[in-house]
Structures are given as structure tokens and as C-alpha cells.
Amino acid sequence: MHHPLAEALSALPHGPEFRFLDELTMLEPGQAGTGRYRLRPDAPFLRGHFPGQPLMPGVLLIEAAAQLAGTVAQSDPRQPPLPGLKLAAVRNAKFLDAVRPGDELVIQAQILGRIGRLIQAVASASVAERLVLRVELTLSGD
């Protein structure tokens, strides 16, 4: 039998090359969740961002947060999963510190509300309890 956290994570449509969530560590279905992602030193995008001083791109931090928010939203037992759920809007994104190879991100997302096929969420990410990202997200289904 599958573990419910692993099962919720397996619903992500992204292929392994574009998955920025290694594991789900807490899930309140449809409400909130916490996940982890370790930035591997051999991640291909690090070679160009930036040579000699590799950093995780801010857009990928936002993507990790959106993947978690989508996982939380799609796990809501009161709502059928939305087909084709995608990131539709990003607001008030703040990058507070760099994420370097070997760092482990702890990502948190909370669903604020749903209106039809739109889902509002707020998310943050930390490395060693140091906040590195705060962002508001809108996800949209087909």
C-alpha cells in the first residue's frame, strides 16, 4: 500500500527532469503542506547559473513552491482534481537569500481559497531555517 504523502506527490504531472520536490513531509489535504528539495550539485542548470558561483534560479524556487501548492490543492478530498493545473500568476515574490548546491529547501504552501478553476496560495521556502523565498501564487485548471 502506498504512503499517502508519496501518493499525493505522485500526482504531480512533471517529469523527473523538472521536479523540484523530492518528498512531501506534511499534508493537510486541500489546505497546507510541507516538502523538501535538495539542490544537487550536478543539476544541469547550475552550469550556466552561474559558472563558478552556482545558484538556484529564482524562477525555479517559485516553480518548487508552485509544485507543492498544486500537490496540496489536488489532494483536497472535497474537490475533484483540476485537469491541467498550471501556474497562472505570481505576485509579491521576494528572494531573501541564495540557494546553493547541496542546500536542502524546506518548502511550505497554504491554499488561501478557490474560485472555480482558480486556486490562490501562499508559499515560502527556507534553507536551514533561513527564509529564502516568499510568494503568492495563482494556479489555474483547464
| Separation CA 127–CA 37 (nearest Å) | 10
Which domains, from first to last, does the chain contain?
4-140 (3.10.129.10)
Cα–Cα distance between 89 and 24 in angstroms, integer? 23
Residue 128's nearest CA partner among 109, 108, 106 is 106
Condensed to tens digits (0 to 9), the pLDDT of residues 28-61 reads 999 999 999 999 999 999 999 999 999 999 999 9
Q: Which pTM value belongs to this model?
A: 0.95
Active-site option among 2, 3, 14, 49: 49
Specify whether the CB–CB gap between 117 and 82 falls below 8 A.
yes
Active site residue 49: yes
Cell numbers found for residue 132: 529564502
Confidence of residue 2 (pLDDT cuts 50, 70, 90): low
